[in-house]
Structure 1
Amino acid sequence: MLQAVPLSRPIVGLMEGSPGEAELTILRHAMHTEPPPSGHPAALPITIAENLCEPSGHILGRFAAVSFWGWLQVIYHQTEAGPGRAENEQRLIAAVKETARRYGCHAVLSHCFTKADQDKLANAGFHRVGKLEGYPRGFAHRVMVWRNKGEPVRPGPTTVPERRSERNWIPQLLDRTLTARGLPPREEQPLNRVIRNRAGQPVAGVLGSVCWNQLTLNGLWTHPDYRGRGCAGRLLHSVEKAARRHKLDHILLDTFSFQALFFYQRRGYRVYATLRDFPTGHERHYLAKRL
């Protein structure tokens, strides 16, 4: 595990360190139970994994996605090599759209890292809403969106839900999808920090992971009783120092318009992609800080 550099000026009465397993559980629960924006239910992601099949049952491709707040976020989509692969790729994308309609989603979000994949999605009606060069090195992160405006969608072959046991393969299939496009293997390492009070209880924390040449922040939380005391800023400063020490290129995160957008912008993070109506009436922002 990559370790963050200790704080040079500890907050009075509070101590920073690396969280143990029990503290990680507390932090994850706190981050996942933050109240949703007014008028919206809590975000309860639904994982969807389906196979694209011929009538005979032969698998032509696979995709996995997560649905929440009216969006279908694609984790990966991959077709099998062989004759007709280009056509099957378009049929698979059509099946993803049909799945979004079936789950009542008004938009589909997909991430890609090559111009070829961007062009395939663009041909299927996706629009690029953001791009970050150098993530990973030699590539660019492209954020692609398709919006369901009620136009008819021609589904591909039958999609069959994967068995629950098959869903355990999602990370491996994602790796295979990326390496097939020439990207380096994903080797994630956690970088987590916690601030404890005098009683040793966690009152703030940041959870992140290092992959390729960047640190991705997955969550930053402060207990309501300790907000306004600089905990979040100190944690961010700590992991930024660790990222520089390990010669990373970027720190990445996403946040919503009802959360802490300006907190990050004041600290040098810039928005490189924005998703409108995620959830309805709000925006989801992707930010990066070049180190």
Structure 2
Amino acid sequence: MKYSTSVTADSAAILTVGDRDPELSEKLDEALTAFNEAATGTAHGDSFSVKVTDEDGELVGGLTAWTWGGLCGISLLWIREDSRGHGWGSKILQAAEAEAVRRGCDRIAVSSFTFQAPGFYQRHGYVETGRMLGIPGGHEDVHLFKRLAV
């Protein structure tokens, strides 16, 4: 669903609201990355992933992350339900931390909803730095941080 409206009677600009726009997301990412690099003097790093598949090639679990100025940010970490409790989360996290160090990072950050796995990260040496309230069901988004051994 989309609709458009003029911003002001004097403006030629048009405000549009609608579903996700991949082209807009790409342009915003490019513009904000350029702004951040100019403001910090630090070039944006790159993204990477860690993936585990079973003997049939099906996804067991994985992680996506990004790097920037010595910081690694974990975007997503997921393990298939029937593979949880077998150590895959720890192996994937350790592989991501090692890759972050290889890419020049000395710290790593992640957020995890209270119904997900903040305790998992804490058991791996991450410390809570804050929470975002208002997650559906009365939950919170826990922000965690860890210094990496380089």
Shorter-chain TM range is 0.7 to 0.9
Deviations 1:65-106 (A, max 9, x none): xxxxxxxxxxxxxxxxxxxxxxxxxxxxxxxxxxxxxxxxxx
Cα distance, 1:200 vs structure 2: 2.9
Residue pair 1:175, 1:185 contacting (<8 A) in 2 also:
no
Among 44, 47, 50, the alignment partner of 1:187 is 44
Which residue number corresponds to residue 16 of structure 2?
A: 161
Among 204, 214, 228, the alignment partner of 2:85 is 228
Amino acid at match of 1:160: L
Which residue number corresponds to residue 69 of structure 2?
A: 212
Larger Rg: 1
Which residue number corresponds to residue 10 of structure 2?
A: 56
Among 93, 101, 120, the alignment partner of 1:244 is 101
Q: 1:222 to 1:166 in 2, by over 3 A?
A: closer
Query: Does residue 1:172 correspond to 2:30, yes or no?
Result: yes
Take 2:17 and 2:32, find their aligned partners in 1: how far apart are those partners? 15
Unaligned runs of 5+ in 2: none
Cα distance, 1:196 vs structure 2: 1.9
Unaligned runs of 5+ in 1: 1-49, 60-158
SS at match of 1:205: strand
Query: Does residue 1:273 correspond to 2:127, yes or no?
Result: no
Cα distance, 1:176 vs structure 2: 4.2
Cα distance, 1:53 vs structure 2: 5.0
Deviations 1:110-134 (A, max 9, x none): xxxxxxxxxxxxxxxxxxxxxxxxx
Question: Among the aligned pairs, what percent are the same residue?
Answer: 26
Amino acid at match of 1:173: A
TM-score of the superposition, structure 2-length normalised?
Answer: 0.78
Take 1:198 and 1:175, find their aligned partners in 2: how far apart are those partners? 39
SS at match of 2:44: coil
Residue pair 1:204, 1:231 contacting (<8 A) in 2 also:
yes
- Greater per-residue strand proportion: 2
Which runs of structure 1 show a deviation greater than 6 angstroms over 4 or more consecutive aligned residues?
Answer: none
Take 2:104 and 2:54, find their aligned partners in 1: how far apart are those partners? 31
Q: How many residues align?
A: 142
Deviations 1:113-172 (A, max 9, x none): xxxxxxxxxxxxxxxxxxxxxxxxxxxxxxxxxxxxxxxxxxxxxx82379697252112
Take 1:271 and 1:196, find their aligned partners in 2: how far apart are those partners? 31
Which residue number corresponds to residue 253 of structure 1?
A: 110
Instruction: Point out which structure has higher relative CO (alpha carbons under 8 A, 6+ apart).
Output: 1
Residue pair 1:184, 1:212 contacting (<8 A) in 2 also:
no
Cα distance, 1:212 vs structure 2: 2.4
Take 1:276 and 1:161, find their aligned partners in 2: how far apart are those partners? 29
Residue pair 2:37, 2:44 contacting (<8 A) in 1 also:
no
Q: 1:288 to 1:56 in 2, by over 3 A?
A: same
Take 2:116 and 2:22, find their aligned partners in 1: how far apart are those partners? 35
**Residues 82-93 of structure 1: matches in 2 within 5 Å?**
none
Root-mean-square deviation over aligned CA pairs: 2.9
Take 1:274 and 1:229, find their aligned partners in 2: how far apart are those partners? 29
Residue pair 2:33, 2:44 contacting (<8 A) in 1 also:
no
